[in-house]
A and B are shown apart, each in its own frame.
Chain A
Amino acid sequence: MKLFCSRREHLGRRAFLKGALATATGGLVANWGALRSTSLLADEAKKTGKRCILLWMNGGASQFETFDMKVGRKTGGPFRPISTNLAGVQICELLPKISQMMDRLTVIRSMRTSQIDHPGGIHLMHTGYSEAANVRFPEFGAVIAKYLGREQSSLPNFVKISSNGNAGAGFLGPKYHPFNLDQDGDLPAFSTSNLDPKIEQRRNDLRNFLEDSYAKDHQAETAKMHREAYEAARRLQSARQVFDIDKEWSEAAPLYGDSKFGRRCLLARKLIEAGVPFVEVGQSGYDTHADNFTGHKGLVPCMDHAWAGLLTDLEQRGLLDDTLVVWMGEIGRTPRINNRSGRDHYVRAWSTALAGGGIKGGVVYGETDADGADVKDNPVTEGDFFATIYQSLGIDPLTEHYAGSRPIPVAPFGSKVVTEAIA
């Protein structure tokens, strides 16, 4: 394990002054995360050409019904393990396709995180930080958009398809806010202009004229952001076809499986291929306090099919080496099976998985005890997990932003990269 929080000189004088936008009352104002050497770091990261897809299991998928089975124990449940293409490693029978792609995955069986409820867990596992009253932490999609995105891209740099992150761009500012698509991956209504192109152009010219006039007399960051948002929306018009998967679906359906989650994964692949650096794809329904087993039996097989299809598709297109695919939810589920045939929230020992860009395949990291109640070795915190993600994408986990004068690294101070997972 690499302890990366060792620098002493990370707060330069210029950076300090730049970040110190404290008010007279001591409150902090947003400065959109001004940071030391932003452009240099971003340029370096962009050179890696890395991208990321997050498969978000909303509600918290059960580790017992996926990657950390406890067969024969009271906590085990009715599913049976299957062998994988890794010698000696078994996972749940609900994941037959992923079982044959374990050589591409790092599975972490020793997640130990700090937020047990959904809102807190969703924030934590999208940002690496617990919610705070005075700091709006950015989701890692926004961080990746900032460091791996393209400024004048026709496509948004941070796209969410039917997903649930609740932090957005935080202090990074609206420029990096997620572009949300609905459960079918359809573009929002505002992205479609019903005006004649000539009229649309005249309107745009008029708006630019007014905004330029305003900007001469005002140094308003928000006005600039407003203009950038409009420009981004206009650029999107020229790339709308990327979001249309209907023509490809009949051919892709066998690979991804005939489910809405499968369609979303295909769209994610298209967006990544078109240059979007971060796409989050959500599947809801994992909060199985009741009927956990039939619940997972409904959800996991179609997710397995789509996930395996996505990895295969990325691989066949030569994209997998540069595309990190993260699989996780906000929490795990209890070892104890409750009297509703369900499992409740649990964060003391649960599982996540990584594959693709920058990740070593064929790794099962960490171990839980016989009943899955606690981590036996190599616990991985949320900070460690995000440090590993950033490291694999070529973003230094120590990279700092400033919320006012407070330096905030992209992965929390003290986090350790799971070096065993890094290729």
Chain B
Amino acid sequence: MGTVATPVVELDAVTKRYGAVEAVRGISLRIVAGEVVAMLGPNGAGKTTSVGLMLGLRVPTSGAVRLFGLPPTDRRARSRAGVMLQESGTTSVLTPREIVRLFGTYYPAPMPPEQALALAGLTDKADARIGTLSGGQRQRLYLALAVCGNPDVLFLDEPTVGMDVEARRAFATSIQTLAAAGKTVLFTTHYLREAEELARRIVVIDRGVVIADASPRELMGRVAAKRVAFTAVGAVPSGAFAGLPVAALENANGHVRFLTGEPEAVLRALFARGVELRDLEVVGANLEEAFLSLTRREEPA
């Protein structure tokens, strides 16, 4: 047995509080070299804060953060990381080629600017002013800036926001290329489909805690939810759903909808509690609904 390799990223019982808001409520996570990890969760789940903590952009309230075994603010650690942040900007009067060349000088062994631009699919806009780029092209520029230093790990916060379908596909190809080259990749998204397609590991975050950490296949098995809808005949007795494994429950004038992994058991209980219904529909939930059922399962009734 050799020595255990230092993890690329290590969070140990990390919390982060902004005033009264606890954005991260105790996350422990290890990411090792070569992993492609999606951090999945709804808006406000704590994804951006988690990435900020990993990069040393934010100081944890408690707990420890390590990047390549070093404090994330250490230049040696940062020199091995490429970063694409949400809503960060660049000077608009430079061209992509100029700024990629500039960022290359920050790193000890950068790739040629042309290679970074090609990898991000921005070659044809390399000499345009950044101010004239579309939202999707700007995202590609940020990807080029993230890879130009030839980093060992890439942190991509909501990388596909603002991209159209074609740009998303190009982005997926870029990520696969990087993963094939042995890079460690961590990206955040609120699309389950994107996480499932690109990552080999999905960490689901909700309200500042990790609620699932599994391979896409495992996770899909766990969230195989059904959408149930019916019209109640007469009033639904209060407490009819008490203790039942349902999520996203709605009752609009007797038109009842909810998500559940066990439709038969739920319906049996409802009948037993005196609920009368018609127009029953049970369909497979789509991915977003399935994800919703996973993240909201623990919500108190």
Do A and B make up one complex?
no
